[in-house]
Amino acid sequence: MSTAPETAPVPASEEAQDEVIALCAELIRFDTSNPTSDERASAEWVVARLAEAGIDSELIESAPGRASVIARIAGRDAGRGALLVHGHLDVVPADASEWQVPPFSGEIRDGYLWGRGAIDMKDTVAVMLAAARHFARTGTKPSRDLVLAFLADEEAGGKFGAHWLVEHRPELFAGVTEAIGEGGGFSFAIDDTRRLYPIENAQRGMAWMELTATGRAGHGSSPNDENAVTDLAESLTRIGRETFPIRLIEPVRALLEEAARLYGVEFDEDDIDGSLARLGPVADFMQVVLRNSANPTMFAAGYQTNVIPGKATARVDGRFLPGHEQELIDTIDRLLLPSVGREWVNHDIAMETTFDGPLVDAMCAAVRAEDPDGHPVPYCNPGGTDAKAFTHLGIRCFGFKGLKLPHDLDYGRLFHGVDERVPLEGLRFGVRVMTRLWQSC
C-alpha cells in the first residue's frame, strides 16, 4: 500500500554502473582488517565521496579509529517510515601469502575485482555509494527517507559499530521502520539458466558458551572418579556427537518448496530426507539452517602430566533457529555431566520477520526486473549480522544486497576465504537493483 506517487523508475546510469567498480576497488585498498586495523581513513573517504555529490553525513567515532558514517536522504514521502541501508567497512584479516593477488590491492582480473572485502561487504558499500551519488546527481528521490549507515566493527560483533550506535546514538535511526543489510539477495544457481535469490528474513541466534568442569585435584598416578578433564571430555563428546532434530522454520520451508517447484520434484515434509535428496545443491546449501547446532571448539586443562587438575574449561559454538533457543539450552544441559557448568561468552537473539509488505514486494520486483530468470525466496541466515543490533530498535531487518553471480563461482567459500572476489557484472547489477529498489520501496 505505497502512498508514494507512481513514477517510472529512473534507471541506474552507465556512469553509476562504471563508478561502482572504481569505488569498490578504492574501498578494498583501505586495510580495515578487524581487529588489527581501524576504519577511520575509509570512513573519511566515504564522507568525501558523499560530499562530492552534495550529500551531508556524520562521522562518528565510538573509540579512537573506530569510525562509522551515517547519512540521511530525504524521500518523496516523508510520512512513511524510513529505510535503513547498512553495510560494514571492516573486513576479516587476510594472509597475503595464500592469495593469488595482494588482498588489499583491489586488482581487476578475468572479469572480477579481487580483494578482501570484495563480497563481504565492500561490494555492497560501493553499491550504496554509487546509488546515492547517482540519486544526488540526477535529482532522483527515493520513495521514502533513507538512512545510509557505513559501520565499523561488524566482523567482531559490532561492539564499536552497530551496537554502539544503537545504544549511544539511537536518534540517528529515528523513524526507521525497516532495514536491509548483508546476508541475502545474492543469486544461487538452480540450473544453467535459473537462479534463486534468497532474501534474508531470519537469522539464527548465537549461544557461545564456556563450560567449566570442577573435580578433585590429585596425583596423576592415583585413582580419581572426579577427574575434571574426563568429565569435560565426556560432556564435549556428547555435545559434538548430538544429532539435533530438523526443525523446519517458515523461511527454510518456503525456500525448499520453491526449489522443489523449480526442479519439478515433490517436497514432502513427512519425508524430509527423501525431499532433500531430490534437491541436490540446494539441500547442501540449506543443511546449516535445518536445525540447531553446537560444536566444541576450544579445550584447556592441566599443567603437568602427573597432576590431575581441579578444573577444566572448554568453549562451544552454539546456534539456534528462531523459536528454538530453549530447545538448544535444554539439550546442552541434558548432555552435560553434573560436574560441568556453563556460562555465556556471547549470547545474542535469533530473528525472524514475515516475508510480506511493500519492502519485500519491492525487493522481489527489483530482482525480477533485472533478472527475469531470478526467483526471490525467503531465507534464514545461519550466522549473525549487524541486523541483530537494529532489531533492538524495533526495526524489521532483511538481508538484501542484489548480487548476481556466475554459476561456476562458489560464493559461500569466498566468505572470509582466500581469493575473495566479486564479478564486475555483479557490481553493476547491484547498482541497477538498488536504484530500482530505493525508488519503489
- The count of other CB atoms within 10 Å of the CB of residue 89 is 30
Q: Give whichever of 121 and 199 is closer to Zn ion, judged by the CB atom.
A: 121
Amino acid at position 339, single letter: S
Q: Applying CB under 5 A, what is the total number of residues that bind Zn ion? A: 3
Nearer to Zn ion among residue 135 and residue 188 (C-beta): 188
Rg for the chain (alpha carbons), in Å?
A: 23
The CB-of-76 to Zn ion minimum distance in angstroms stands at 31
Closest approach of Zn ion to the CB of residue 160, in Å = 15
Give min distance, CB of 441 to Zn ion, in A.
Answer: 22
Which residues on adjacent β-strands are paired with residue 150?
69, 87
Q: In the set 20, 82, 121, 190, which binds Zn ion (CB under 5 A)?
A: 121
Q: What is the closest distance, in whole angstroms, from the C-beta atom of residue 40 to Zn ion in the complex? A: 19
**DSSP calls for 51-100:** HHTT---EEEEEETTEEEEEEEE--S-TTSPEEEEEEE--B----GGG-S
Complex with Zn ion: residue 119 or 332, whichever CB lies closer: 119
Residue-wise burial string across 236-250, b where 16 or more C-beta atoms lie within 10 A, e elsewhere: bebbeeeebeebbbb
For residues 161 and 40, give the distance between their C-alpha atoms in angstroms, rounded to a whole number: 12
The nearer residue to Zn ion, 123 or 258, going by C-beta atoms, is 123
Nearest-angstrom CA–CA distance, 207 and 238: 17
Our CB check for Zn ion shows the closer of 120 and 153 to be 120
Question: Which of 409/414 has CB closer to Zn ion?
Answer: 414
- The minimum distance between CB 120 and Zn ion, in angstroms, equals 4
Mark residues 137-176: x for contact with Zn ion by CB under 5 A, - for none: ----------------------------------------
Binding region for Zn ion (CB under 5 A) out of 89-97, 112-120, 136-144, 433-441: 112-120
Q: Across the chain, how many H-helices and E-strands are there?
A: 13, 19
Q: Look up residue 206 and give its three cell numbers.
A: 548465537
* Minimum gap (Å) between residue 8 Cβ and Zn ion: 34
Alpha helical stretches, state H, 268-386: 272-277, 280-286, 325-335, 358-370
In this chain, which stretch among 181-189, 205-213, 274-282, 369-377 interacts with Zn ion, using CB under 5 A? 181-189
Q: Per rule CB under 5 A, is residue 123 in the interface with Zn ion?
A: no
Contact region with Zn ion (CB under 5 A), list: 92-100, 114-122, 169-177, 338-346: 114-122
Which span (78-86, 97-105, 117-125, 167-175) binds Zn ion, by CB under 5 A? 117-125
The distance of closest approach from Cβ of residue 182 to Zn ion in the complex, given in angstroms and rounded to an integer, is 5
Question: From CA 278, how far away is CA 221, in angstroms rounded?
Answer: 56
**Would you call 139 helix, strand, or coil by DSSP?**
coil
- For Zn ion, the closer of residues 87 and 205 by Cβ is 87
Residue 401 CB, nearest approach to Zn ion (Å): 10
Q: Please report, as residue ranges, which positions from 200 to 219 form the binding site for Zn ion (by CB under 5 A).
A: none
Closest residue by beta carbon to Zn ion: 120
CA–CA separation, 345 and 209 (whole Å): 5
**Please, which residue, 12 or 166, has the CB nearer to Zn ion?**
166
Q: Is 120 in the site for Zn ion (CB under 5 A)?
A: yes
Query: Judged by CB under 5 A, which stretch of 31-39, 121-129, 293-301, 433-441 contacts Zn ion?
Result: 121-129
How far the first Cα of the chain sits from its last, in Å, is 10
Going 253 to 256 to 259 to 263, the CA torsion angle's sign is negative
**Cα 348 to Cα 158: distance, rounded to the nearest angstrom:** 12
CB of residue 415 to Zn ion, shortest distance in Å:
8
Give the amino acid at 383.
Answer: G
| Residue 397 engages Zn ion in binding (rule: CB under 5 A) | no
Q: Please identify, using beta-carbon distances, which residue of 57 and 385 lies nearer to Zn ion.
A: 385
The x, y and z cell numbers of residue 200, run together, are 534474508
Min dist CB 119 to Zn ion, Å, is 9
Closer CB to Zn ion, residue 86 or residue 436?
A: 86
- Shortest distance in whole angstroms from residue 34 CB to Zn ion: 10
Closest CA to 25 of 81, 95, 85, 102: 102
In the bound state with Zn ion, the residue whose beta carbon lies nearer, of 39 and 120, is 120
Give ∠ CA 207-209-213 in degrees, rounded to 5: 150
- Positions touching Zn ion (CB under 5 A) are 120-121, 182
